Amino acid sequence: MTYLLRRLAVFPLVLIGVSIVVFVAIRMVPGDAITAMLGTEAGLLTPAQREALAAYFGIDQPWFVQYGRWLLGLLHGNLGISSTYGKPVLDVIIERFPLTLELALLSMIIALAVGVPAGVFAATHNEKLSDLGVRVAAMIGQSTPNFVLALLIIYTLSAGFGVLPAMGEFSPLWQDPLRNLSQLILPAITLGFAFAASVTRVSRSAMLDVLSDDYVRTARSKGVSARGVIWRHALPNALIPVVTLSGIEFGYLLGGAVIVEQIYALPGLGRLVLDAILQRDYALVQGCVLFIAFNFMIVNLLVDLAYVALDPRIRLGEQ
């Protein structure tokens, strides 16, 4: 409990650090909301016109004044107004987040459902042809960029079979579950492919380690079936590195899968951040990055707590 409170107490400090870095970094990039809106036509503005637009976008003050204002708003639960969407940043993020969460969960389910059995299979057939096959497949999975896979899937389905999930308007799960799944399954497979490959490799090597442990030999000598040894005794201990990997990957996916969302035209968090950066929607960039950082910290915390559940020998917070 103390460990949990201590971890939670660090959250605000990390978030303030992240917010300062993002606030300064996005303003250091050349270009601003005015050039993002007008492009080269911004050169036709008179100084007075430019000032009026700067005031409209809230970029007419020095950065520390802008940051102070923003931080004050944040303390009141206000992340600012998005200049692109014309509404509170938090509302925009909340609209986009369910899709990203769902996509991340689906990808993780696919990755674990494929990766763990494949890793266990490879470990139990160590150095056999089937092990080699799994390792080669995992290598291909890890080294295939997801944009290549996404384009390949889209091209094959549309040109070869004339089908494609509905693109353009995304249906939330609670509105139309079937349409929602049809829109998310291909992106989830695209993301889950490389994720599964990593899980396969980590599961295989962790299983190989565990299978050579004394307690596994003891279990075998006591007559426990091969299946029982693998699934009941070895696998739970081999899962810790898999949990670590999945946590990191899941946290990463919660930040949005920019390229996959872009290709499949999914209005998720990744595309939101990308568009916000391109349009120099500062409030939205800051809000999104803060939200992503928060998610990442939560996932990390949950991963640490999962260690305890998997291995009672681990005591969190002990020196």
Partner 1 sequence: MVQHLTRKLLSGMALPGIALAVMLGTAAVPIQANAATLHMAWSQDATGLDPHKQTAFSSLRLLELIYEPLVRVDANLRIVPAIADSWQFSADGKELTFKLNPKAKFQNGAAVTSADVKASFERILDEKTGAAARANFLSIASIDTPDPATVVFHLSQPDVPILTAMSDVNAAIVPAGEIAAGSVGTKAIGSGPFKLDKWDPNAKEVLSANKDWAGGATGVDGIEISVLPDETAILAAMRTKQIDFALLNDPLVATLVPKDASLQLNRVPVLAYHVLQLNPSRKPMTELKVRQAISCAIDRQDVLDTASLGEGKVTGPLTIPSLATDPSQLFCYKRDVEKAKQLMSEAGYADGFSATVIGATGEPPTAAAEAQVIQSQLAEIGVKLDIKMMELNVYVDAWLKGDFDMAIALNGGRADPYTMYNRYWTKAGNLQKVANYIDDTLDSQMQQGRAETDPAKRKAIFAEFEKHLAEVSPWIWLYTSYSYTAQQKNIAGFVPTPTGTLFSLSKVTIQQ
The dihedral through the CA atoms of 306, 307, 311, 312 has a sign that is: negative
Contact 164, 186 (CB under 8 A): no
Least distance CB 203 / partner 1 (angstroms):
18
Contact 102, 261 (CB under 8 A): no
- DSSP state at residue 199: H
129 binds partner 1 (CB under 8 A): no
Q: Is 75 exposed, middle or buried (0-12, 13-18, 19+ CB in 10 A)?
A: exposed
Residue 286 and residue 276: Cα distance in Å, rounded?
9
Contact 16, 41 (CB under 8 A): no
Token duo for residue 109: 């389910």
Least distance CB 257 / partner 1 (angstroms):
13
Q: Please identify, among the stretches 11-19, 65-73, 149-157, 240-248, the one whose residues bind partner 1 according to the rule CB under 8 A.
A: 149-157
Least distance CB 266 / partner 1 (angstroms):
9
Residues of this chain, 235-294, that bind partner 1 according to CB under 8 A? 262-265, 267, 271-272, 275, 278-280
Contact 278, 81 (CB under 8 A): no
Least distance CB 264 / partner 1 (angstroms):
7
Residue ranges with strand state E in the chain? none
59 binds partner 1 (CB under 8 A): no
Least distance CB 191 / partner 1 (angstroms):
15
Rg of the chain on CA atoms, in Å: 24
Least distance CB 284 / partner 1 (angstroms):
10
Q: Please identify, among the stretches 7-15, 16-24, 132-140, 157-165, the one whose residues bind partner 1 according to the rule CB under 8 A.
A: 157-165
Spell out, one character per residue from 17 to 56, where the chain touches partner 1: x when CB under 8 A holds, - when not: ------------xxxx-xxxxxxxxxxxxx-xxx-xx--x
Residues lying near partner 1 in the complex (CB under 8 A) are found at 29-32, 34-46, 48-50, 52-53, 56, 84-86, 151, 154-155, 157-159, 162-170, 176, 178-179, 181-183, 185-186, 262-265, 267, 271-272, 275, 278-280
